[in-house]
Structure 1
Amino acid sequence: MPKHVDPAARRAEIVDAYLRIVSRSGIAASTSRALAAEAGIAAGALWHYFGGFDDVVDAAFQRVYARTNERIAAATAGRRGLDALHAMSRDILPLEARTRDEAVVVVSFWGLLMGHEEFRAHTRAVEQEWGARVRGHLGEAIADGELRADTPVRELTDALLSVFEVMQLRAVQGSATAEPDRQLALIAHLLAPWRGAR
């Protein structure tokens, strides 16, 4: 009697295998053959669970995004204002091995955006959700007197979101600007002019 395979569980195994390959050897190593071997299934069986390789990358991006959101929720629980904003930033910025590995997946996903409107919709959803969180924490910081009342919340939110994305790219590039202390210093620099009640 054939063994029953839970399609959702098998898809999750394949995505996990893809993430392991990327974190270990980079995007170029994540071929269909390598992915099937890592997942422990026949190469042709991959496409019983995904429509193509782009779908695997899409699922991996969504997994990384979900994991990041889980970390953000845990890190910011019971915090507000700049304390919460800094906690959120540390779980997005590629400051350690885990988030640098995630940056590789995210940057590879960006390379597919031009041909996939649904992928662009995913990135816009991330921007909207994280933007709302950042604006909320900046608003709390203003209310608590950590930031000046005239802090340009919209513009500062846009700048912080841009830093999150650029630092993921620079980490993949191996840029010296992606060293953890320089990333955190950039966030501090953006906030510095607006610190303290006026």
Structure 2
Amino acid sequence: MYHIFVNDKPIILTTKDKKPKGAKSYKLKTVIMRRVIKKLNKSDIEAIYLTHHNEDKILKKFLKKLPNVIAGGGKVHNQHGEVLFIYRNDRWDLPKGKAEGKESIEDTAIREVEEETGVKNLTITKPLETTYHILKRNNRYKIKITYWFEMNTDYDGKLEPQTKEGITKAKWLNKKKMKKALKNSYANIKRLV
């Protein structure tokens, strides 16, 4: 089962035909994505289930429905046990961004964390869950696929939010502050953290 978010409402990819109350279900093979996105945005429907008989192919078939944007990001820990967050578009988020050229997704993740926060000396410790969300750019819907990595750093310098990207804050958050920040974050980030 995969969750692809449209704002904070999920499109759930599944092989099962049942759906909970407050949700709609469609066959993945015949669904028109623009209509599904509009229905999620403009109604009180809590989720949309897209069904397909083959679990091994369901994600691949879904990703062919819209252009894909590949991104990498990091859940970065410092030596004090805090996690690095950014504040952009009035929400707390983790640093991430689009892959450039032929760089590896790991290099993308490290570069984006550095650019968006100023943090250096990053080491990837393990891959995390991949997240999916639908965005609209130039009046076209796209699926953003973000590959996340857990990272560590011994960086103790000043954080520098990348203001030209709309980032107004970069902060290390302890567990208590992180819990509060996640109340004003994205569904994908809540699941990831």
TM-score, length basis structure 1 = 0.27
TM-score, length basis structure 2 = 0.27
**Higher fraction of helix:** 1
Which protein has the larger Cα radius of gyration, Structure 1 or Structure 2? 1
**Higher fraction of strand:** 2
Higher RCO, Cα 8 Å, sep 6+: 2
